[in-house]
Amino acid sequence: MVQKLRFDQVAVGDEIPALTVESVSRMDFVRYAGASGDFVPLHYDQTFVEAVGIPTVFAQGMFTAGLLSRCLTDYVGVGQVRRFKVRFTTRVWPGDTITCRGKVTKKYQEQGENRIEGELEAINQKAEVAVKGSFVAACG
């Protein structure tokens, strides 16, 4: 079912439905490396990370950002995002459970479209923020 968010159904302050991804894995980081072309060894090479004093491989920031972007498109619909901005604040380790969530902070018109603006964040099971972000999306 294809859903576009309706401008008249959104209110400032609305929470974006949360998305939880249980227990991210080393395989996830490998799959993301292959899919994205990001082959920085910190994310899959255990020997390398131990040699630089890090206990284990950890997620690419953009892997977690990808999960967060899915949370957003599930809410506003595919093809509706006009801006997506993220910064990486805490590392995501194998076994972490990531919850993606956000809220709408603004409604307005721009470039002939109804648009909403909002905040996003991906947190781990200890409620630490791994990725903090913001977005602009068009509404039907």
In the complex, the smallest distance separating the C-beta of residue 77 from other proteins, rounded to whole angstroms, is 9
Comparison of 10 and 137: residue with beta carbon closer to other proteins: 137
Name the residue among 63, 60, 108, 59 with its Cα closest to residue 83. Answer: 108
Contact letters for other proteins, residues 6-25 (x by CB under 8 A)? ---------------x----
Asked if 75 touches other proteins (CB under 8 A), the answer is: no
30-69: contacts with other proteins (CB under 8 A): 31-32, 34-38, 40, 42, 52-54, 60-63, 65-67, 69
Token pair 């619909």: residue: 77
Question: Which positions lie near other proteins, rule CB under 8 A?
Answer: 2, 21, 28, 31-32, 34-38, 40, 42, 52-54, 60-63, 65-67, 69-70, 72-74, 78-79, 81-88
